[in-house]
Structure 1
Amino acid sequence: MFLDAVLRITGLLVLTVPTLAAECTREGLLAATESYLTAQTSGKVSNLKLSSSNFTYRQNNVVSDITKGLLSTAYKVDLNRSTADTVACASYTMWISTSGSKPYVVSTQIRHANNDTSSISMIDTVAASTGDLFFDAKKTLGYIQKEDWKIIPAEQRPSRELLKKVGDAYLDMWTDAKAADSIPWGTECERVEGSQYTNPCGKTLPRGGSSKNNGMRRYVIDEEMGSVDCQFDSLGAWPDSHEVRVVAGKVKYVHTVTVMKLG
């Protein structure tokens, strides 16, 4: 009887111990970006730990077969940089390849289900190449190599709410004539749009006129880096990625990757 009582008690304890939720960590997110870059430079999708139950690969806003996409070919990466969003359990990686017959500037968001960074539930890539809007990988590389992307001290970091607001206002400029003036532009803000360089960012901006919103918005927000990346369908048709960095409360950098064939 004593043994039966012990078993009943221990069984009850096992049943009442709560299951701890997985924690999405910055380290886990950035480790996943490293595995993604390894897969890209080797051209081997097998280097990735993909979710066995619910994985999606999206390239230029189209859900497709990962084994037939950009990751199936090895590319020499000249520059890469990643940011992490522990709230959304997602990361953003930008990489540039200037060599070979087809250079690329690529923006990729990686997402993880249930806060579990040990496997990847989505790879979402916007990949611009020769013939796309203002495309010149070597010029883009030269501009971005000069930028300062040090982690922002804790007491100076912009809030998640501010970063989201800035990202949305930037995308709203095409439909809202007042959106541009709501953005805290820095006096030395630099915008790299394809390979076109503009300083300061706050000049030559859209001020409404479009009837179609920039939609299908997917965000990666990193307060430590003061950045927000949003991938979307530009003006209803074109795959697009815009990354904005806010330093000392002002927009410092804007990068755009647009898949829009000219001519």
Structure 2
Amino acid sequence: MTRGKIAAILGGAAMLAVASPAAAQASCSREMLQQMADKYVQAQEEGLPLRLPMGNWMVYRENFKLSTMSQGVISTALPISWHRALLDTAQCRVFLEMVSHEAETPRVIAVQFGVRGDSANNIDAIVTDADDWLFDAAKTYEYARREDWSEIPPARRNTREELIAAADAYLDLFSDKSVQVPWGTPCARLEGSAYTAKGTPEDSCNVGVPENIAMKDRSYVVDETIGAVAVFLKMGPKERPDSHLFRIEDGKLRFIHTVTDCGDEVNCGFGPFKEMLARNPGIHPEIKE
């Protein structure tokens, strides 16, 4: 074989690896990703990051800032009272939303991480507590645990592209009011601990969003089996670390969860949440059984 042919083959292989990074790694099953999700929850509950198998090149960020696992929240033992996992077999990625409402310092945490082989890598965690947007971990737990995110029958599942398009439509609405959002009815929106639903067939997520807010640098984890897509993004001019989680049924929005870090601004500059709640107790509605 000539040097020219060898160079062409190597060049083509390199281009393929760059163009399709997922193709360069082993495929992922739901079972393997679920095991990794379970190990992450165990690591968080015990405050022992090494419960999670990790690759040689580990990047760990909290609220989009480079950190270390020994300094991060994963090294603090937290009783996880509720969690949900999304398993993305196309990208070999996992999303977790976790609520710890009985801890000494309650927290709600959203996590995205990759899986290569039997190891986790590139962990992004958005960590929220008492001073963050509409925070009340006990109420988040109360509302989230009631929702039905069970598997969708194969014949009714939306494609990956359809799920992302539905999520993007909602996020694009923040900067473009002409966007057509596939609202479902009923629909429940859990923003921090604020809930738009009361358990009725008329429940709606179409209750307004801020205007002229960019939702940029989006990172997706998609799970077609449960009709869900999780998006990490930078929200607004202050680029607040934000997680939006969507459940989509028959192409329509059914559930929306938001976890937003406010940095050093209490309740993202809207004043203490307790005062906001006192003015508008309907933020925490009673749910009809």
TM-score range, shorter chain: 0.7 to 0.9
Shift of 1:35: 0.9
Shift of 1:66: 1.2
Kindly report which structure 2 residues correspond to 1:1-263, keeping only aligned pairs within 5 A, or say none: 22-52=26-56, 54-112=57-115, 116-179=116-179, 182-199=180-197, 200-206=203-209, 208-210=211-213, 213-236=214-237, 237-260=239-262, 261-262=266-267, 263=271
SS of the equivalent of 1:67 reads coil
Work out whether residues 82 and 141 of structure 2, in 8 Å CA contact, stay in contact via their aligned partners in 1: yes
Deviation readout 1:63-109 (Å, 9 max, x if unpaired): 11111000111001101111101111101111101113210111111
SS of the equivalent of 2:225 reads coil
Work out whether residues 28 and 117 of structure 1, in 8 Å CA contact, stay in contact via their aligned partners in 2: no
d(CA) in 2 for partners of 1:147, 1:44: 30
Shift of 1:37: 0.8
Aligned to 2:276: none
Shift of 1:255: 0.3
Work out whether residues 29 and 117 of structure 1, in 8 Å CA contact, stay in contact via their aligned partners in 2: no
d(CA) in 1 for partners of 2:229, 2:117: 20
When Rg is computed on C-alpha atoms for both structures, the one with the higher figure is 1
Shift of 1:21: 5.7
Shift of 1:168: 1.3
Shift of 1:30: 1.1
Comparing 169-178 and 198-207, the one that deviates more: 198-207
Shift of 1:209: 2.6
TM-score, reference length from structure 1: 0.86
Please give the root-mean-square deviation of Cα atoms over the aligned residues, in Å: 1.5
d(CA) in 2 for partners of 1:195, 1:258: 11
Deviation readout 1:172-204 (Å, 9 max, x if unpaired): 12211112xx22111110000011111334432
Work out whether residues 173 and 181 of structure 2, in 8 Å CA contact, stay in contact via their aligned partners in 1: no
Deviation readout 1:185-237 (Å, 9 max, x if unpaired): 11110000011111334432226434xx2112111001001000001111142
Aligned to 1:13: none
TM-score, reference length from structure 2: 0.78
Work out whether residues 157 and 224 of structure 1, in 8 Å CA contact, stay in contact via their aligned partners in 2: yes
SS of the equivalent of 1:162 reads helix
d(CA) in 1 for partners of 2:234, 2:204: 22
CA 1:59–1:201 in structure 2 vs 1: closer, same or farther (change >3 Å)? farther
d(CA) in 2 for partners of 1:206, 1:84: 28
Identity %: 34
Structure 1: which 4+ aligned runs deviate by more than 3 Å?
Answer: 199-202
Work out whether residues 178 and 207 of structure 1, in 8 Å CA contact, stay in contact via their aligned partners in 2: no
d(CA) in 2 for partners of 1:59, 1:201: 32
**Which sections of structure 1, spanning at least 5 residues, go unmatched?**
1-19
SS of the equivalent of 1:163 reads helix
**Which sections of structure 2, spanning at least 5 residues, go unmatched?**
1-23, 198-202, 272-289
